[in-house]
Amino acid sequence: METGHERTLEAVARLAGGIAHDLNNALLPLRAYGEIALKRIERGEDASEEVRDMLAASDRASGLTRRLLAFSGKQVLRPEVVDLNDLVCGLEPELKKLAGDDIAVVTVLHSEPVRVLADRSLLDHVLVNLATNARAAMSEGGTMTVAVSADRSPLGAELSVCDTGHGMDDATAAHIFEPFFTTEGGGRGLGLASAHGIVKQSGGTIDVESAPGQGTAFVIRLPLADTERQVAPPERATGTAPGIVVLLVEDDDAVRRSVERMLAADGYNVVVAADGEEAIRLARKVRMDLVLTDVAMRGLNGRETAERILESEPGVPVIFMSGYTDDAVLRRGVGDRVTPFLQKPFGAAELSRAIEDALAAPR
């Protein structure tokens, strides 16, 4: 009989193999298009098409890391009050397109708003993943039902996706949320595993109810939001980059050079530091409008560096960036204030928006 330790090792091996497969598939076109673009540039030709393909491949690779973070429950959430009725209505056209002509999509809404405090974009991701799984279970057509209800569970809000497909036995259902678990004729990947991680991190639960030949129902239960606690979206900044000085602190040479170039291309004046100590020395010598620092660095970490800089420059905005999401800095911020955070990898537009918002925020 297989032991719990052996099952854990098997799950880890499946996860590692699946990640390597997907990451290599994302990296191959990135390298290939890079080499083709370089040859075109050397011949004096236009390489814009290859560069666009490289960006698409990069997005695919970063999407894998986001799914991994969601699976592990380490995704950075941006919570807001979301009405599940509105969520389903907004996604209905996409769900119908996803289902195709052979599958009917039925939505059942609650008679009153069902508000939860959650990251709307991640809930969208969960719902699309569940719909994709339902479509795969109905290869010969059927009906997909997406329903919203309230007051039927201790958590208060319920969102379900049901299909009339082939269903699963108990042994299969027991593994369905494991990463890269494969069912006969089904897909493989992090979809359901990431959905489980997102719901759990949002304070909810997700369960599966299924039987062979009887279809499958995925049921998400979330706590109802405090209707008095409305999360207002941040006001957009209207400032421009020229004249703004950014102190960039990053100990990885390749990352530091690439972020510096993104900032310079958008018109920011950049002062560069390779570690926290150098950043503190520079902060005493130059005028700066904002500090952009990595979290995990050799020597002083990002939080320690920012706190030292703020001792002499108490009003300067700070943005943290990291490939990790479970650092203490994300839970504690700097001092008594909540600090903006950029999840690596990020693009120039996301970086510029973060800087504009940080500069516009009251302090």
pLDDT for 118-173, tens place per residue? 888 888 888 988 998 899 889 889 999 999 998 655 678 999 999 999 898 888 88
pLDDT of residue 238: 40
Average pLDDT over residues 32-40: 89
Average pLDDT over residues 219-231: 74
Q: What is the C-alpha separation between 77 and 197, in angstroms, rounded?
A: 12
pLDDT of residue 202: 84
pLDDT of residue 239: 43
Which CATH number does the domain 245-360 belong to among 1.10.10.350, 3.40.50.12780, 3.40.50.720, 3.40.50.2300?
Answer: 3.40.50.2300
Q: What is the C-alpha separation between 198 and 77, in angstroms, rounded?
A: 9
Beta-bridged to residue 218, according to DSSP, are 161, 208
Q: Residue 65 CB: number of other CB atoms within 10 A?
A: 15
Report the mean per-residue pLDDT for the chain: 81
In three-state secondary structure terms, 142 is strand
pLDDT of residue 217: 94
Q: For 86-107, what is each residue's pLDDT tens digit?
A: 999 999 999 999 898 899 999 9
pLDDT of residue 29: 82
Which DSSP category does 155 fall into?
T
| Comparison of pLDDT for 362 and 296, the residue scoring more | 296
CA triple 127-231-79, angle to 5 deg: 35
pLDDT of residue 260: 93
Structure tokens at 251: 């100990």
Query: Would you tell me the crossing angle of helices 348-360 and 253-265 to the nearest 10 degrees?
Result: 70
Confidence check: pLDDT of 190 > 50: yes
Confidence check: pLDDT of 303 > 60: yes
Q: How far is CA 173 from CA 42, 176, 303, 329, in A?
A: 55, 5, 43, 38
Confidence check: pLDDT of 222 > 80: yes
Phi, psi of 131 (to 5 degrees): -65, -40
**Amino acid present at 58:** S
Domain 80-223 has CATH 3.30.565.10: yes
Highest mean pLDDT among 2-6, 189-193, 228-232, 265-269: 265-269
pTM over 0.85: no
